[in-house]
Protein backbone atom coordinates (compact mmCIF):
# COMPACT_ATOMS: atom_id res chain seq x y z
CA UNK A 1 0.00 0.00 0.00
CA UNK A 2 1.41 3.35 -1.02
CA UNK A 3 0.59 6.73 0.46
CA UNK A 4 -0.95 9.05 -2.07
CA UNK A 5 -0.58 12.78 -1.64
CA UNK A 6 -1.97 15.32 -4.08
CA UNK A 7 0.75 17.11 -6.01
CA UNK A 8 -0.08 20.80 -6.20
CA UNK A 9 2.09 23.83 -6.95
CA UNK A 10 3.38 25.66 -3.91
CA UNK A 11 1.35 28.70 -3.07
CA UNK A 12 3.05 32.03 -3.67
CA UNK A 13 3.35 32.62 0.07
CA UNK A 14 5.06 29.23 0.51
CA UNK A 15 7.52 30.13 -2.27
CA UNK A 16 8.31 33.39 -0.47
CA UNK A 17 8.90 31.42 2.74
CA UNK A 18 11.17 28.91 1.01
CA UNK A 19 13.16 31.75 -0.55
CA UNK A 20 13.62 33.15 2.98
CA UNK A 21 14.84 29.72 4.16
CA UNK A 22 17.32 29.47 1.27
CA UNK A 23 18.62 33.00 1.95
CA UNK A 24 19.07 32.14 5.64
CA UNK A 25 20.94 28.91 4.77
CA UNK A 26 23.11 30.78 2.26
CA UNK A 27 23.99 33.42 4.85
CA UNK A 28 24.92 30.64 7.27
CA UNK A 29 27.03 28.92 4.60
CA UNK A 30 25.06 25.69 4.91
CA UNK A 31 25.39 24.71 1.26
CA UNK A 32 25.17 21.01 2.08
CA UNK A 33 21.62 21.43 3.39
CA UNK A 34 20.77 23.59 0.37
CA UNK A 35 21.95 20.80 -1.94
CA UNK A 36 19.95 18.21 0.03
CA UNK A 37 16.80 20.34 -0.31
CA UNK A 38 17.52 20.66 -4.03
CA UNK A 39 17.82 16.86 -4.30
CA UNK A 40 14.47 16.49 -2.54
CA UNK A 41 12.76 19.05 -4.77
CA UNK A 42 14.15 17.88 -8.11
CA UNK A 43 14.91 14.15 -7.74
CA UNK A 44 12.65 13.21 -4.84
CA UNK A 45 9.43 14.75 -3.55
CA UNK A 46 8.79 17.81 -1.42
CA UNK A 47 5.28 18.23 -0.05
CA UNK A 48 3.80 20.96 2.14
CA UNK A 49 0.52 20.20 3.87
CA UNK A 50 -1.26 22.94 5.78
CA UNK A 51 -3.16 21.88 8.91
CA UNK A 52 -4.82 23.67 11.81
CA UNK A 53 -1.84 22.85 14.05
CA UNK A 54 0.76 24.08 11.58
CA UNK A 55 2.42 23.07 8.36
CA UNK A 56 3.67 19.56 7.72
CA UNK A 57 6.71 19.25 5.48
CA UNK A 58 7.08 15.79 3.94
CA UNK A 59 10.41 15.23 2.23
CA UNK A 60 11.10 12.10 0.20
CA UNK A 61 14.77 11.85 -0.68
CA UNK A 62 15.88 10.09 -3.87
CA UNK A 63 18.01 7.49 -2.06
CA UNK A 64 18.71 6.02 1.35
CA UNK A 65 22.13 7.70 1.39
CA UNK A 66 20.64 11.15 0.78
CA UNK A 67 17.87 10.43 3.32
CA UNK A 68 20.47 9.62 5.98
CA UNK A 69 22.29 12.86 5.18
CA UNK A 70 19.01 14.81 5.43
CA UNK A 71 18.25 13.07 8.74
CA UNK A 72 21.60 14.37 10.01
CA UNK A 73 20.43 17.90 9.15
CA UNK A 74 16.75 17.49 10.17
CA UNK A 75 16.83 19.53 13.38
CA UNK A 76 18.68 22.36 11.63
CA UNK A 77 16.16 22.24 8.77
CA UNK A 78 13.22 22.30 11.20
CA UNK A 79 14.71 25.35 12.92
CA UNK A 80 15.21 27.13 9.56
CA UNK A 81 11.70 26.26 8.36
CA UNK A 82 10.27 27.43 11.68
CA UNK A 83 11.71 30.88 11.04
CA UNK A 84 9.55 31.24 7.91
CA UNK A 85 6.57 28.92 8.47
CA UNK A 86 4.25 27.83 11.30
CA UNK A 87 5.74 24.31 11.05
CA UNK A 88 4.58 21.50 13.31
CA UNK A 89 6.04 18.44 11.53
CA UNK A 90 9.03 17.55 9.36
CA UNK A 91 8.82 14.02 8.00
CA UNK A 92 11.67 12.44 6.05
CA UNK A 93 11.62 9.23 4.00
CA UNK A 94 12.67 8.06 0.52
CA UNK A 95 10.84 7.78 -2.78
CA UNK A 96 11.41 4.00 -2.64
CA UNK A 97 9.98 3.70 0.89
CA UNK A 98 7.65 6.70 1.24
CA UNK A 99 6.43 7.80 4.63
CA UNK A 100 2.96 6.60 5.61
CA UNK A 101 0.95 6.96 8.80
CA UNK A 102 1.77 4.20 11.29
CA UNK A 103 0.50 3.48 14.81
CA UNK A 104 2.34 5.24 17.64
CA UNK A 105 3.59 1.86 18.92
CA UNK A 106 6.01 1.64 15.97
CA UNK A 107 7.66 4.96 16.72
CA UNK A 108 10.88 5.13 18.72
CA UNK A 109 11.54 8.44 20.46
CA UNK A 110 15.07 9.74 20.10
CA UNK A 111 14.51 12.52 22.60
CA UNK A 112 13.27 16.06 22.85
CA UNK A 113 15.15 19.33 22.63
CA UNK A 114 14.52 22.96 23.56
CA UNK A 115 15.66 24.96 20.50
CA UNK A 116 14.39 28.31 21.75
CA UNK A 117 12.46 29.36 24.86
CA UNK A 118 9.21 28.86 22.96
CA UNK A 119 10.26 25.94 20.72
CA UNK A 120 10.34 22.38 22.08
CA UNK A 121 10.78 19.59 19.53
CA UNK A 122 10.77 15.83 19.61
CA UNK A 123 12.61 13.56 17.19
CA UNK A 124 11.87 9.96 16.34
CA UNK A 125 12.16 7.13 13.87
CA UNK A 126 10.07 4.13 12.88
CA UNK A 127 11.29 0.59 13.51
CA UNK A 128 11.79 -1.35 10.30
CA UNK A 129 12.12 1.80 8.17
CA UNK A 130 15.70 3.09 8.51
CA UNK A 131 14.99 6.21 6.45
CA UNK A 132 11.80 7.31 8.22
CA UNK A 133 12.49 10.18 10.58
CA UNK A 134 10.38 12.90 12.13
CA UNK A 135 10.94 16.18 13.90
CA UNK A 136 7.75 17.39 15.56
CA UNK A 137 6.74 20.40 17.60
CA UNK A 138 5.83 19.65 21.21
CA UNK A 139 3.70 21.73 23.55
CA UNK A 140 4.94 22.98 26.94
CA UNK A 141 3.97 19.62 28.50
CA UNK A 142 6.12 17.69 26.01
CA UNK A 143 3.08 16.36 24.13
CA UNK A 144 2.74 16.34 20.34
CA UNK A 145 1.05 19.48 19.01
CA UNK A 146 -2.11 18.28 17.26
Q: What pLDDT was estimated at residue 68? A: 96
pLDDT block averages, 10 residues each, the chain of length 146: 49 80 93 94 89 92 96 95 93 92 85 91 93 94 84
Domain residue limits, the chain: 12-138
Largest CA distance in the chain: 41
- Residue 34 CB-half CA count within 13 A: 13
Q: What pLDDT was estimated at residue 146? A: 79
Q: The whole model's pTM is what?
A: 0.87
Q: What pLDDT was estimated at residue 2? A: 46
Give CA–CA dist 70/80, Å, rounded. Answer: 14
Amino acid sequence: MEASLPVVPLKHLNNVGLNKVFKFLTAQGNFHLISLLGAAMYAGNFFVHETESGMHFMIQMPSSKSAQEMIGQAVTLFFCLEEAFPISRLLISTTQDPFMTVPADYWVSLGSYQLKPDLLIGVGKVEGHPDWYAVVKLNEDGKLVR
